[in-house]
């Protein structure tokens, strides 16, 4: 469920009067996603997405997110373009929430990831990283390295209810990650959440990247590690080196990876795995029954984390 705030016909009409997008023809909620309320909007001018930003998104970050999306879209990356109103502003309020309209991207996300999906994802991620270099504003990664220990502390009281000994294992692993985390790798703007449900394909070609609301300024190769976790494991938990090879090879063809970045892949992949494990664990132990947030199994990422711990070097990722 991803419609937390309802919008009346009257409120929508008043909101759209601020834009040169014509009158509403169709308007319906989109049932995917967990962070914001999303609506499919068709007007006499075309198709759009209307997003109402819910409480888990800091309103102070919204101008940066929208600015990055506009920058990337205008430089050729297939991502939503924020639509400015008649006053030139893309961000305004609707139904008591900050809200924005963006362009609609055709396509569907892959429910079953195949190897042929992974090369386009790698190329698109590298294009995002290169295209974002001249977007000067920065945003610290709120769910980056500095946030993992406090997040683990917030799971400490109930974490072992998920699996006996889990907190002790994560304490030891996190201490090792923090001690070995690289500090001299290239930094830039990263998507930070490029999972299959945020990538659209149309006739087997990548047609768009969406949901930039975890984007931040961080280590570029860490974004690759997030993708390796998200795209290259099978439903049974096995790592698929063929998918990883396709993703990394296509990325490298657009933005060549340095030797230092390749060497750091195992520890970066551990960091990416523990980041998503901890956010899932937090939701698992802190979400009350009946809440709208859909909980995801944190132990899925524990298995991935253990795989990365066993990776001796970057060759474990199919390079």
- Asked if 195 and 292 sit in the same domain, the reply is yes
Question: Is pLDDT at 304 greater than 80 in this prediction?
Answer: yes
Buried b (16+ CB within 10 A) or exposed e, 34-47: ebbbbbebebeeee
179 and 62 assigned to the same domain: no
Is 165 a domain residue? yes
Query: Are 171 and 152 within 8 A, CB to CB?
Result: yes
Judge whether 99 and 92 are in contact, CB under 8 Å: yes
Residue 2 counted as domain residue: no
Q: Please check whether residues 130 and 269 belong to one and the same domain.
A: yes
198 contacts 209 by C-beta, under 8 angstroms: yes
Tokens of 264: 């750091």
Does any domain span residue 124?
yes
* 219-278 tens-digit pLDDT: 999 999 999 999 999 999 999 999 999 999 999 999 999 999 999 999 999 999 999 999
Name the H helices within the chain.
Answer: 9-16, 62-74, 115-131, 145-155, 159-162, 166-180, 220-231, 241-254, 259-286, 299-310
Shared domain check, 198 and 74:
no
| Helix, strand or coil, per DSSP, at residue 236 | coil
Among 70, 103, 136, the domain-final residue is 103
Q: Indicate whether 109 belongs to any domain.
A: no
Range of the domain at 73: 9-103
What is the CATH number for 162?
3.90.1200.10
Does 1 reside within a domain? no
Q: What pLDDT does 2 receive?
A: 55
- 236 in a structural domain: yes
In a domain, 18, yes or no: yes
* 82 and 134 belong to one structural domain: no
Q: Supply 276's token pair.
A: 């998503």
Q: Are residue 92 and residue 237 in the same domain, yes or no? A: no
Are 42 and 133 contained in the same domain?
no
Residues 6 or more apart in contact with residue 207 via CB below 8 angstroms? 78, 105, 106, 107, 200, 201
Residue 50: which CATH number? 3.30.200.20
> What mean pLDDT value characterizes the chain?
94
pLDDT bucket at 293, cuts 50 / 70 / 90? low
Confidence of residue 56 (pLDDT cuts 50, 70, 90): confident
Last residue of a domain, one of 103, 124, 143: 103
Number of domains in the chain: 2
| CA contacts within 13 A on the Cβ side of 30 | 17
Predicted TM-score of the model (pTM): 0.94
210 and 82: one domain?
A: no
- Whether residue 66 lies inside any domain: the answer is yes
- Considering the domain architecture, whether residues 94 and 191 belong to the same structural domain is answered as no
- Confidence at residue 1, expressed as pLDDT on a 0 to 100 scale: 40
Choose the final residue of a domain: 74, 103, 132: 103
Do 149 and 96 lie in a common domain?
Answer: no
pLDDT in tens, 101-129: 999 999 999 999 999 999 999 999 999 99
Q: What is the mean pLDDT of the segment spanning 8-26?
A: 95
Q: Which two tokens stand for residue 261?
A: 């970045």
Are both 127 and 72 inside the same structural domain?
no
Q: Is the pLDDT of residue 318 over 50?
A: yes
38 and 143 inside one domain: no
Sign of CA dihedral 94, 100, 101, 105: negative
Does residue 217 carry a pLDDT above 90?
Answer: yes
């Amino acid at each position: 469920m991803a419609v937390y705030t309802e919008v009346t016909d009257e409120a929508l009409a008043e909101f759209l009067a601020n834009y040169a997008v014509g009158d509403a023809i169709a308007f319906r909620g989109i049932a995917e996603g967990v962070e914001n309320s999303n609506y499919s909007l068709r007007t006499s001018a075309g198709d759009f997405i209307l997003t109402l930003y819910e409480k888990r998104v800091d309103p102070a970050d919204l101008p940066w997110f929208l600015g990055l999306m506009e920058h990337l879209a205008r430089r050729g990356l297939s991502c939503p373009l924020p639509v400015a109103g008649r006053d030139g502003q893309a961000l305004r309020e609707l139904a008591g929430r900050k809200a924005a309209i963006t362009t609609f991207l055709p396509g569907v996300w892959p429910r079953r990831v195949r190897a042929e999906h992974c090369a386009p994802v790698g190329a698109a991620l590298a294009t995002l990283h290169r295209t974002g270099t001249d977007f000067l504003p920065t945003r610290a990664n709120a769910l980056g390295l500095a946030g993992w220990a406090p997040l683990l502390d917030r799971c400490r009281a109930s974490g072992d209810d998920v699996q006996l000994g889990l907190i002790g294992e994560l304490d030891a692993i996190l201490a090792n990650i923090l001690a070995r985390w690289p500090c001299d790798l290239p930094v830039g703007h990263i998507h930070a959440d490029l999972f299959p449900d945020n990538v659209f394909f149309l006739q087997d070609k990548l047609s768009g990247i969406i949901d930039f609301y975890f984007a931040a300024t961080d280590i570029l190769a860490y974004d690759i590690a997030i993708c390796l976790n998200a795209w290259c494991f099978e439903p049974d938990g096995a790592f698929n080196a063929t998918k990883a090879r396709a993703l990394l090879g296509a990325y490298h063809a657009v933005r060549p990876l340095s030797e230092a970045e390749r060497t750091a892949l195992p520890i970066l992949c551990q960091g990416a795995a523990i980041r998503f494990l901890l956010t899932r664990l937090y939701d698992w132990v802190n979400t009350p029954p009946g809440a709208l947030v859909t909980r995801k199994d944190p132990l899925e990422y524990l298995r991935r984390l253990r795989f990365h711990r066993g990776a001796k070097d970057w060759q474990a990722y199919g390079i």
